[in-house]
Amino acid sequence: MQKHAAIGMVLAAGIFLLLGGCSDSNFGEVTGTVTIDGKPCPAGIEIMFEPQIEGGSVSQGVTGEGGTYEMHYTRDQKGVMVGKSLVRLQIPMGFDPQSGQSMTDGEELGKIVIPPEFGSDSTFEVEVKSGEQVIDIPVTTSN
């Protein structure tokens, strides 16, 4: 009977590992600050880290006060997959960057324009390592 219990525990542990996906060494805990022309960006800018490996899933974050952010792989798991990631920024839905009008409470957010090289046509790539790290995102709007 003990043999069956031990086999059951080994099988359960194996299933847990398979369903759990990746180990913690496959993720880096990423925090940082987004600046626009050297000044901290307002709260509410959405950040995406898109792993440049096949099958990689996007991690997301949102700037808080002072432009700081923390990335999340899932709602319950902090981090970004280890390796190269393309970083994209976007203004959340509800803001019209042309008119500066906000459909929510975000006085400064409506004035922000994300340059294409940090937005839809991003070329800003970073290397994420295992463990805790700070990756600042310095956006420039002038050439």
Tokens of 76: 């319950």
d(CA 74, CA 143): 36
Q: What is the mean pLDDT of the chain?
A: 80
The pLDDT score that the predictor gives to residue 126 is: 97
DSSP H or E stretch at residue 39: strand 39-40
Q: pLDDT tens, 44-87?
A: 899 999 999 988 899 999 999 999 999 999 989 999 999 999 99
**The pLDDT value given to residue 120:** 87
9: pLDDT strictly greater than 50: no
What gap in Å lies between CA 5 and CA 84, rounded to an integer?
43
Kindly report whether the global pTM for this prediction surpasses the value 0.85.
Answer: no
What φ, ψ does residue 31 adopt, rounded to 5°?
Answer: -130, 170
pLDDT digits (tens, 9 = 90+) for 19-30: 444 457 899 999
Q: Are 89 and 47 in contact (CB under 8 A)?
A: yes
